[in-house]
Amino acid sequence: MKTYEKSGGFFPVFERKTGPAKDATHYCPGCGHGNVHKMIAEALEEFGLLGRSVFVSPVGCSVFGYYYFNCGNFQAAHGRAPAVATAVKRTNPDSIVISYQGDGDLAAIGTAETIHAANRGENICVFFVNNAIYGMTGGQMAPTTMIGQRSTTTPQGRIETVHGNPIRMAEMLATLPAPTYIERVAIGDSKHIMKARKAIRKALKIQAEGKGYSFVEIVSSCPTGWKMDPVHARDWLLEDMLKVFPLGVFKDESDTRDEGYWNRRYDAYDPAVVDEYLDRLKSTLGESEPVPLAGDLHCKFAGFGGQGILTAGLLLSQVGMRAGQHVSWFPAYGPEMRGGTANCSVNLCAGRIGTPLVENPNVLVVMNQPSLDAFAGEVVDGGVIIVDTTIVEGRPDAKRLRPVLIPATAIADEVGTAKIANVVILGALVAATDCFPRAFCEDTLRAAIKKRSLVDMNIDAFGRGYEFVKNAR
Amino acid sequence: MTDNTALDVPWMEVNGELCKGCQLCLAVCPKSVIAISEKLNSASYHPAYYTGADCTGCGLCFYACPEPGAIRVTKP
């Protein structure tokens, strides 16, 4: 026995729908959306895909897809359904993702997302319901409105020289190399409807096999927007619309594409290649047993942009992270890459950190005079203040604070480059606070320094700063 | 609605409350066995109904109908 009835791909009752009539859709009589919905729901159920399917609704009449489809649902910002579908698919490679869109959504505000999702060959299905008009907003001209077609915004009919021509999306996308399958079908008479059903099923199958991007344009009627009765509307669709939007398969490489080929992006990323490109020893700091922290540090690093102020803070944060402590790093700088003022706040704590801001540091690093003037007063009583005496002329209040005076830039210059003064300072900071053991910090630096060729110089600079402070005591 | 459940013949049925009276099922029915009721349903539409004989169970009306639950076709 064969029964044609409401598919299990739909919710038995449309509970999410507002108002009465929880069994009927919100669509107007004779609207093509219902037909397309039925075919998608039927295919998802028959192919056993419902449990892993995600239906992405657009803005337009079909905005309420989540009322109906008994699977995962998203409702995207206008035109962005292919972008949302991309995210869903890439984060859940086993999901079956449908980007369901009308002509205003797909071919006007969402043109960019449409083209680029197709160009990337996203392994998704795009079902494009083209009824040549903006239905939900009241029958305005759409990108697919035909020359001469009347709408509320083209009451004299669409004029080529004023409004441009209707866009043929299927043909346009078929010029791209990545898409696997592109067909235009129509919800017209029974013959066309059954062909549309076949195309929708094929697209879903292609996705399930990991064969890539499918685009099915479904020429459909909008009796309300067209101001026609539903039967007349479908006749008009067949007679007039198909002249402008010819049916057919514009691209089909489903037989030649390897199964799973378009899933390869999920394991295409090779960290070793990135490390090699960046001349980096390894991409992570590596595992370490937790290293205890002598006491919570609330540091501020301040100086000119280009002195490595932010990097010094970042390196200290990485030491703390590898030690298993709580860490925050918060930069503040102007738009200049060099020469502006820069500072960063670093919290290194045994417990959770409430705010990444450091208003009253217990360790302040100053690498220029304005920073000493601006921040010395904010340091807590007894706090450490590390001053690069090569550059800073002033001296901090030695009664209230614990000054560490080090000619960091001069030392760095001896090591090989003045640019490495920030690491000399870092060595001084570790020595002055005894926050972590020297060897542990050096191990971390080896992993954290991005340029392999600079590792030895950095370790040297760190050691010089460390020893300068220890020997001065 | 005619009760054909006891018969060994195909039949279609319309849920008169869900039907929006678009008449697309009438347009595609090869046997012209669907008609429009003179009565209104609670949504103020004249719903379609099965005239009671000669349905072949082809299912074309089911796919022409935009409403998920309005038409059911059974082919024994």
Q: Residue A280 has what pLDDT? A: 60
- Could you read off the pLDDT of A327-348 as tens digits, one per residue? 999 998 766 656 677 899 999 9
Which chain A residue is nearest to residue B46, measuring alpha carbons?
Answer: A29
CATH 3.40.50.970 range(s) for chain A read 32-267
Task: Read off the pLDDT of each residue in B13-36 and give the average, rounded to a whole number.
Answer: 97
Picking from B15, B59, B66, the nearest residue to A27 by CB comes out as B66
Which chain B residue is nearest to residue A7, measuring alpha carbons?
Answer: B68
Picking from A33, A197, A231, the nearest residue to B24 by CB comes out as A231
Which chain B residue is nearest to residue A189, measuring alpha carbons?
Answer: B28
Which regions of chain A are under pLDDT 70? 264-268, 278-287, 334-339, 473
> A440: left (phi > 0), else alpha (psi -120 to 50), else beta?
alpha
CATH number of A281-472: 3.40.920.10
Mean pLDDT of chain B: 92
Cβ contact A30–B63 (<8 Å): no
Using alpha carbons, select from A255, A260, A175 the residue that is nearest to residue A212.
Answer: A260
Map residue B36 onto helix, strand or coil. Answer: strand
Whether A277 has its CB under 8 Å from any CB of chain B: the answer is no
**Which residues from B are below 8 Å from A21, CB to CB?**
43
Whether A67 has its CB under 8 Å from any CB of chain B: the answer is no
Which chain A residue is nearest to residue B12, measuring alpha carbons?
Answer: A4
How many A-B residue pairs are in contact by the CB < 8 A criterion? 98
Whether A352 has its CB under 8 Å from any CB of chain B: the answer is no
Which pair of structure tokens corresponds to residue A341? 């003022």
Show which of residues 218-237 on chain A sit within 8 Å of chain B, judged by CB atoms: 223, 229-231, 234
Map residue B30 onto helix, strand or coil. Answer: coil
Q: List, in order of start, the domains of chain B with CATH numbers.
A: 11-74 (3.30.70.20)
Using alpha carbons, select from A292, A161, A166 the residue that is nearest to residue A217.
Answer: A166
Cβ contact B66–A24 (<8 Å): no
Using alpha carbons, select from A240, A247, A250 the residue that is nearest to residue A218.
Answer: A247
**Which residues from A are below 8 Å from B66, CB to CB?**
25, 27, 29-35, 38
Using alpha carbons, select from A450, A432, A300 the residue that is nearest to residue A367.
Answer: A300
Q: Residue A294 has what pLDDT? A: 83
Cβ contact A34–B65 (<8 Å): yes
Helices (H) and strands (E) in chain B, counts: 2, 4
Which chain B residue is nearest to residue A9, measuring alpha carbons?
Answer: B68
CATH 3.40.920.10 range(s) for chain A read 281-472
CATH class entry, domain A32-267: alpha beta
**Which residues from B are below 8 Å from A40, CB to CB?**
none
Cβ-in-10-Å burial (0-12, 13-18, 19+) of A48 comes to exposed
Q: Residue A82 has what pLDDT? A: 98
Whether A8 has its CB under 8 Å from any CB of chain B: the answer is no
What is the least distance, in Å, from the CA of B12 to any CA of chain A?
Answer: 9
